[in-house]
Structure 1
């Protein structure tokens, strides 16, 4: 099947003009000598959820790691809130207000839930226009994730995988990010945890923050996302609204069906 025939241009003048937070243009990335990403370009604007979709191995996690400076070799352009992040270290990128929730849950197993949250704490942020951004506190996160509220003194190593995933998300939110890169949050998770993650995504969006969501679950993506990009073998094969992707059976069969 001709991939060019499946590609859909992003909506143009009909889309509301909002501040662009993340802009990636012609991003290439390698693991050693293996070329993984090929000229990936995408945008995330203020107050929207964008789904980065594709099968396992399509390059979704690699895209996130390349944006966050976690790969040794990458080329192209990536800017966050108008500032290039290509020459920055991961901690410098995080300090700008770009949060990253990795798929593999990197919590501190010897620290309690409360201590893990404290490690992620950063000062409250303000948008460039002077309006205050979403500010997260432990109390707000315990309300969002009741399971964590019930185990504030439990060491991270004594939690289930789903609970650890919630803690990873909550710790990232303690950094008060303008935008969160959320990598495969529903992978292997119980439905009740997925529901809480959906609620978190919608709350972020409602309060003006943004999410770039790496996901294979089409149903979850449809519930929360405004737009979507589809990756296959490290290349963008589709860019458009979530409604357009849901209606495009050819794209879904070619690049999302298992």
Structure 2
């Protein structure tokens, strides 16, 4: 997998202005605080990995960014606008896409029907240029496995196929930025490789992705930068190359 993907990784595109700027983000589950003054940003055309062991706060960060936690505070600016007070559906309508770790496909709906559930209107960047706008046919070309099972109910798909469907459904919302939670977790190696190719292809098209991941090898193949969480705190931030070279950080916060 490493040799195949490394040889096909595109040159990093010039990075644009930040799409997402998070400052002083705190979050709680009931009385238990999980995130502590988290700061991060994701620029246009960039893949950023949010890394850490299980329980570090990665998925909680995504839920807080989507407004899915009842108790949270801090600044969340997306596309230049503050959205901390917005409901989850309002954030999605503004172009923030979320691919949850637990997939949440509609098991009684077909692949095509699942995609239609995620459909939103085409989007344009503030300067008027067209953003990435997807149709089901484009997604079936992008995900050939889904194209071969358009009429199959979601409940009759493997875990890896459901993962692809969840990503495709999110893309039907034409997001400016995708929150991708643990794409390599619990799926077969061949699906992991396909997911890596998918992320690289999306990046080549100019997509921006914040990726939650604990697999350093996978993250290193697709990401430009990384933030490392431990107990809800950012313990390290830098390029993926710098993280790969920093054995002390890897041992302290990433190895089991």
TM-score normalized by structure 1? 0.92
Show the 5 A alignment for 1:223-242. Answer: 223-242=221-240
Supply the distance in 2 between the matched residues of 1:255 and 1:229 (Cα, whole angstroms): 11
Say whether 1:68 aligns with 2:66. Answer: yes
Q: Which residue of the partner structure matches residue 96 of structure 2? A: 98
1:203 is displaced (CA, Å) by 1.9
Aligned length: 243
Task: Verify the 8 A CA contact 1:52 1:228 in the aligned structure 2.
Answer: yes
**1:133–1:209: 8 Å Cα contact kept in structure 2?**
no
SS at match of 1:199: helix
Report the counterpart of residue 245 of structure 1 in structure 2.
Answer: 243
Matches of 2:245 and 2:104 in 1, distance apart? 36
For the residues of structure 1 that align with 2:234 and 2:226, how far apart are their CA atoms? 10
Shift of the alpha carbon at 1:116? 0.2
Change (3 A) 1:17 1:203: closer
Match of 2:121 in 1: 123
The residue aligned with 1:12 is none
In 2, Cα distance between the equivalents of 1:132 and 1:196? 27
Aligned-pair CA distance for 1:243: 0.6
| Structure 1 counterpart of 2:38, from 14, 37, 40 | 40
Maintained 8 Å contact 1:117/1:138 = yes
Moved over 4 A (4+): none
Residues 15 and 44 in structure 2, CA contact (< 8 A), matched pair in contact too: no
Unaligned runs of at least 5 residues, structure 1: 1-15
Which residue of structure 2 lines up, in the alignment, with residue 24 of structure 1?
22
Measure the CA separation in 2 of the matches of 1:221 and 1:114. 30
Q: Do 1:145 and 1:196's aligned partners in 2 also have CA atoms closer than 8 Å?
A: no
Specify which of 94, 106, 109 is matched with residue 107 of structure 2: 109
Partner of 2:202: helix, strand, or coil? Answer: helix
Cα deviation digits, residues 70-108 of structure 1 (max 9, x gap):
000001111111111210010100011110000011111
| 1:134 positional shift | 1.0
How far is the alpha carbon of 1:17 from its aligned partner? 6.2
- 2:185 matched residue in structure 1: 187
SS in 2 for 1:163: helix
Provide structure 2 residue ranges, at least 5 long, that are not aligned to the other structure: 1-13
